[in-house]
Amino acid sequence: MILTLARASLVRHRARTLLAILGVAVSAAMLLDMVMLATGMRVSFGSLLLSQGFQIRLAPKGTLPFDTDATIPDASHVVRTLMARPDVVAVSPVLGAQLHVEHGATSVSAAALGTIAAVQGDYKLLTGHAPTRDDEIVANDALLTALGANVGDTLRVAAGFDPQLRTFTGQRTLRAVGRVHFIYLAAGERALAMPLESLQAIEGASRTDRASLFMVRLRAGANVESARSAIEQTVHTVSAISTETAIQQVEQRLSYFRQLAFILGSVSLAVGFLLVTTLVTVSVNERLGEFAVLRAIGVRRTRILEQIMLEGAVIMIVGAVAGLGLGLVTARYLNSILAAFPGLPEAISFFLFQPRDAWLSLGLLALCGILAGIYPAWRGASLPIGPTLREEAVA
């Protein structure tokens, strides 16, 4: 019967009910977006870092990977030292540089990565094969398109310019043997990869046996933090960064978004609370006479409370479900804006949907709805019967 009463009351004021549902939906959408924003970056960045199975990264001491042009000396010695550790399964040294690339009459600059094909974790092969000879490279679509080149074509690369001699330095003629997708690069960034020693040779004496970064893969079950700490103590020229530390450091730099998420999420909850409180208060105030009569004929106070709370719950649930859809749409739009951050890896998502986020939002909203409705509902169900009936009669 209470279900019937609640349903009938909601249907009686259709416009009001629909508007309240819409209000709750908007609140739910914003809340969901903010929950996604608070966790999305961490989760997607963590997934990205672990996507190739490397748990630790070594960068020049005091820096973050590719934050500066600094490099690590004695790269081969570092690799041997690391591989000697029983908990290390693979080490991928990476050298980064900026090269000048020509194909026919077209020339562009591109990021270059020197890697060891067997252990590299920087790119995924789309077509062709990985470069193994010192005259081979692989490139991404952005570079190939900019040059008007294809897999199999010959490209000329140079490391720099000598303005006095007016010539390129470190020139090589290389063949593109594969098309790749670079995992950590921003969308549209032109890039190529070649064997590490080739890039070191192109860059000249300043880059002999040097690397910008080492990626370390540990065996299953190894303690990442212990390994990280031990490596940093053993190899003095590097800062060892675990995935967790890297995430924390990125989060710290982009902490603004988490704080924004918290603030806007709180505001959404507060407004949702206000909306439900107003709705329940108005709805109850209109029906004080009804509630007094119900109590007069023997309906318990708690039953009346149940009815009012049920009406609120229906609005919250329907609104929350509608808000879920709306939230996903707006999250996609907002993510597309933030994806334009320069240098942001394509795979990073600021708004990442996890079912847990939906449950968290729903739970928060439900709690908020209950708290918002409970006081006006209790008040309405607890008014003295006689005086209320009298006042309602006068009204």
Interface pick for other proteins out of 154, 208, 266, 285 (rule CB under 8 A): 285
Give least dist CB 261 to other proteins, A: 10
141 binds other proteins (CB under 8 A): no
Q: Work out how close the CB of 52 gets to other proteins at its nearest, in angstroms, rounded to a whole number.
A: 26
Q: What Cα–Cα distance (Å) separates residue 187 from each residue in 28, 112, 339?
A: 32, 15, 9
Examine residue 118 and tell whether it contacts other proteins (CB under 8 A).
no
Identify the residue among 274, 321, 322, 360 touching other proteins (CB under 8 A).
274
Answer yes or no whether residue 70 interacts with other proteins by CB under 8 A: yes
Tell me the C-alpha distance between 178 and 345, whole Å: 21
* CB 213 within 8 Å of CB 110: no
**Residue 105 is a binding residue for other proteins (CB under 8 A):** no
Residue written as token pair 């540990």: 218
**Residue 290 engages other proteins in binding (rule: CB under 8 A):** yes
Q: Going along 159-255, which residue ranges are E strands?
A: 160-162, 167-169, 172-182, 191-195, 213-218, 238-242
Q: 330 to 349, contacts with other proteins by CB under 8 A? A: 330, 333-334, 337-338, 340-342
Tally of helices (H runs) and strands (E runs) in the chain: 12, 12
> Does residue 125 bind other proteins (CB under 8 A)?
no
Q: How is the chain split among helix, strand and coil, in percent rounded to 5?
A: 55, 20, 25
With CA atoms as reference, report the closest residue to 145 among 179, 112, 184, 173.
Answer: 179
State which of residues 42, 61, 156, 379 lies at the interface with other proteins (CB under 8 A). 61
Among 275, 305, 348, 377, the residue binding other proteins under the rule CB under 8 A is 275
Under rule CB under 8 A, residue 161 binds other proteins:
yes
Q: Which of 162, 220, 233, 355 binds other proteins (CB under 8 A)?
A: 162
Is residue 215 within 8 A of residue 10, CB to CB? The reply is no
Secondary structure (3-state) at 58: strand
Report the site for other proteins in 305-324 (rule: CB under 8 A): none
Which among 22-30, 43-51, 75-83, 366-374 is the span making contact with other proteins, rule CB under 8 A? Answer: 22-30
Residues numbered 250-269 forming contacts with other proteins, rule: CB under 8 A = 253-256, 260, 264, 268
Q: Smaller CB distance to other proteins: residue 206 or 233?
A: 206
| Closest by Cα among 253, 335, 339 to 67 | 253
Structural tokens at position 306: 């149940």
Q: Which is nearer to other proteins, 128 or 160 (CB)?
A: 160
